[in-house]
Structure 1
Amino acid sequence: MGKPTFRYLELLGPNRQSRNGARVPYFFLHTEEGSSTAENLVRSGNASGAFSYHYIADDSTLVAMVDTDYGSWSVLDANNRSINFCFAGSRASQSREVWLSKFRNAIRIAAWTFAEDAKKYPYLRAVIQGRPYPKGDVACISDHNFVTRVLGIGTHTDVGPNFPWDVFEADLRAVLAPAPPAPVVNRIDECAGKNQWLGKRITVGEKVCPDRRGRFAKFENGYVYWTATTGAYAIPNRIFETWAEHGFEKGYGYPVNVATTINGGDIQAFERAVIYRQDGQVGHPVYGEIFKRYARDGYEPVLGWPTGDEHDNGTGGRIQSFEHADLIWDPSGVSKVVKK
């Protein structure tokens, strides 16, 4: 069981007391002995100064009345050692059938509330004690009658003999049960599902890359490559051709972003280069210091598309030609643009 459905309100009032450093081993359930809604009962208690609980709930609403860091005015001398939860509109004399027909969701809310508080208060235990309280005075979930019979404080007898402790316990076990493991998502399949342009799948399943780091699958119009560090990205065939010519993942690594069609061509970033391929032309990788200068000067809208690969310029530097300029890098760290 996950979190039940309810409306949550915080109407924190003044009716509280210090815990004075006391441990909190008890979670007590209470009846109202009236017919209020949760919200109305909280507002009444806050205004009168006569009582308080940490929580009051009906079948659709949970209201926080006192912060659990304080004791509520619920169980006299046990206030500072307990968290107290009241079912609005309930009576200790009501039947099991009434509990299950009018308070079924409120019982779920109570179980969920305990589970949340148990994360904060280490002495709370998921030990449920209905009358006749066979375990005695131990850390537990019980009722106001426990305070009277076991702790010897006061005279209250709620939540009554017909409260469905078995249903509450089942709800609590469901809340406390470990969440089922998340389904394993095949990221290559997920990526393919988001990129319908890939077309028909060619590869049965997926293949392991030669470096053992990645996996891939071939499709009619491209490939999907995945690694645990980069994620999964689709590579269109026109970019893939250039990537393959430069050594696949051994050359410029795995894709790290989606392929983009812009300004008359396709662009895709890989771990160690960005591949540019103008429509109708051969693609070229741009990387390192020349890429930094290319980016600084405005990419292809300013300098045009690369028309060749980067290569040695004969003086110890590197050069790469673009439509409107040559970008040159010198070992001294100086880069320059030679306009065409």
Structure 2
Amino acid sequence: MGAPAYREIIRFGPSYSNRWGARISNIFWHTQEGDSTAEELARFCNNPNNGASYHNLIRDGIVVAIVDTDFASWSVLSANPISINYCFAGSYASWSREQWMHRAHDIRIAVWLSLEDCRKYGIAATIIADPYRRGDGIADHNYVTRVLGIGSHTDVGPHFPWDFAKQVLAEYLHGDPAPPGVPNAIDEMAKHAPWLGAKLGSEQSCPDGRGKFAEFEHGYVYWTPQTGARPIPTHLFETYAELGWEAGPLGYPVAFHTVLLEGDVQAFEGGVLYRKYGQPGFYVTGMIGDRWARMGYEESSFGWPTSNELHRPDGSVEQHFEHGRIIWSPDGVTGLITLDGPDRIVPDRL
């Protein structure tokens, strides 16, 4: 059984902490206790002054990833280092079963993503519902309160349809296995991205033997067992090709592209590719990318990237942006805004 249809948006922000080597043992589901869209909730969580974040936010078939799962989100106090946390945006712990079932597809998405994380981190692929038992697996915030003795939250609430979630998990675990290579995964993805237009030819294997791709009128779709099928619009693909396709520094796409006011953005294994309309494209990654993200991405005082990372003779790394540059060195990361006179150092947002 293939993945449920959803649109993924990467909006990694500064609201996270190091796991400090802790083993991830659980995935916890949460309600928002509010009526935000996933993207509205992402903006709230990406303000570190609010002191709350999750790894994935889910609503109406949209998944916004705001914390990389290799790091800890700010969700369950001292259980943050051992957990991955999802929040159903626009949900309440007081909901009835009927209200929850109106979000059945989002529950299906949460199960799928949880299973993917279970496989990635070696977490037991089982759902722990009330009456709880202590152990590895998928549970909710109420489990953290009642079993781990941390905090006082009771979400996702007493009427959450855990039986439905368990049924979906069983389908993904024990359903008919997908044929080797999943030859139709690309076609299935194209059905959910009609902007791609008609398919031009058949799937082809990538030279590394890991993935497949197919060309469409307005882009390409790449697939691997680890990343699934992800479309790349022509506007971004032109830069992706210049960088060496999947063999280049970006690797395979891991998220859907996002259309911004002035251009497009898409996350790949090796970084996030940005291209402003009418301009060349560039990617951000690593500590320079993290610094730029904390400052507010393309909406920050730096603006859009205008180069890839440049390695300097002294061993430092520099990247140029519309209104400044960010420099990495062993001593730290420095952001500089270009002025009429000397460049001004921009304080970091930690």
TM-score of the pair, normalised by structure 1? 0.51
Instruction: Give the C-alpha shift of residue 182 in structure 1.
Output: 6.3
Q: Which residue of 2 aligns with 1:129?
A: 128
**Identity, % of aligned pairs?**
51
Instruction: Give the C-alpha shift of residue 169 in structure 1.
Output: 1.1
Give the paired residue count.
180
In structure 2, C-alpha distance between the alignment counterparts of 1:127 and 1:6, rounded to whole Å: 22
Q: Which residue of 1 aligns with 2:324?
A: none
Q: Which residue of 2 aligns with 1:164?
A: 161
Instruction: Give the C-alpha shift of residue 50 in structure 1.
Output: 2.1
In structure 2, C-alpha distance between the alignment counterparts of 1:50 and 1:15, rounded to whole Å: 7
3-state SS of the aligned residue for 1:56?
Answer: strand
Instruction: Give the C-alpha shift of residue 181 in structure 1.
Output: 4.3
* Superposed CA offset, 1:54-104 (max 9, x none): 111002200111000011000000000000010000000000000001x11
Instruction: Give the C-alpha shift of residue 128 in structure 1.
Output: 1.1
Bigger radius of gyration among the two: 1
In structure 2, C-alpha distance between the alignment counterparts of 1:52 and 1:149, rounded to whole Å: 21
In structure 2, C-alpha distance between the alignment counterparts of 1:16 and 1:138, rounded to whole Å: 24
* Superposed CA offset, 1:27-49 (max 9, x none): 10000000001111011111244
In structure 2, C-alpha distance between the alignment counterparts of 1:3 and 1:180, rounded to whole Å: 11
3-state SS of the aligned residue for 2:143?
Answer: helix
Q: Which residue of 1 aligns with 2:141?
A: 144
Q: Which residue of 1 aligns with 2:267?
A: none
Q: Which residue of 2 aligns with 1:57?
A: 58
3-state SS of the aligned residue for 1:107?
Answer: helix
TM-score of the pair, normalised by structure 2? 0.50
In structure 1, C-alpha distance between the alignment counterparts of 2:64 and 2:180, rounded to whole Å: 32
Q: Which residue of 1 aligns with 2:32?
A: 32
**Does residue 155 in structure 1 map to residue 156 in structure 2?**
no
Name the CA shift for 1:174/1:152 in 2 (closer, same or farther; >3 Å): same
3-state SS of the aligned residue for 1:16?
Answer: coil
3-state SS of the aligned residue for 1:128?
Answer: coil
Give 1:77-96 correspondences, 5 Å limit.
Answer: 77-96=78-97
Asked if the contact 1:3–1:112 (Cα under 8 Å) also holds between the matched residues in 2, the reply is yes
3-state SS of the aligned residue for 1:120?
Answer: helix
Give 1:322-337 correspondences, 5 Å limit.
Answer: none
Asked if the contact 1:108–1:171 (Cα under 8 Å) also holds between the matched residues in 2, the reply is yes
In structure 1, C-alpha distance between the alignment counterparts of 2:180 and 2:81, rounded to whole Å: 40
Instruction: Give the C-alpha shift of residue 176 in structure 1.
Output: 2.3
Asked if the contact 1:73–1:79 (Cα under 8 Å) also holds between the matched residues in 2, the reply is yes
In structure 1, C-alpha distance between the alignment counterparts of 2:59 and 2:173, rounded to whole Å: 22
Asked if the contact 1:54–1:72 (Cα under 8 Å) also holds between the matched residues in 2, the reply is yes
Q: Name the amino acid aligned to 1:153.
A: I
In structure 2, C-alpha distance between the alignment counterparts of 1:14 and 1:182, rounded to whole Å: 39
Q: Which residue of 1 aligns with 2:205?
A: none
Name the CA shift for 1:66/1:180 in 2 (closer, same or farther; >3 Å): closer
Q: Name the amino acid aligned to 1:86.
A: C
Asked if the contact 1:59–1:104 (Cα under 8 Å) also holds between the matched residues in 2, the reply is no
Asked if the contact 1:30–1:85 (Cα under 8 Å) also holds between the matched residues in 2, the reply is yes
Asked if the contact 1:24–1:82 (Cα under 8 Å) also holds between the matched residues in 2, the reply is yes
Asked if the contact 2:2–2:178 (Cα under 8 Å) also holds between the matched residues in 1, the reply is no
Q: Which residue of 2 aligns with 1:116?
A: 116
Unmatched tracts of structure 1, length 5 or more: 184-340
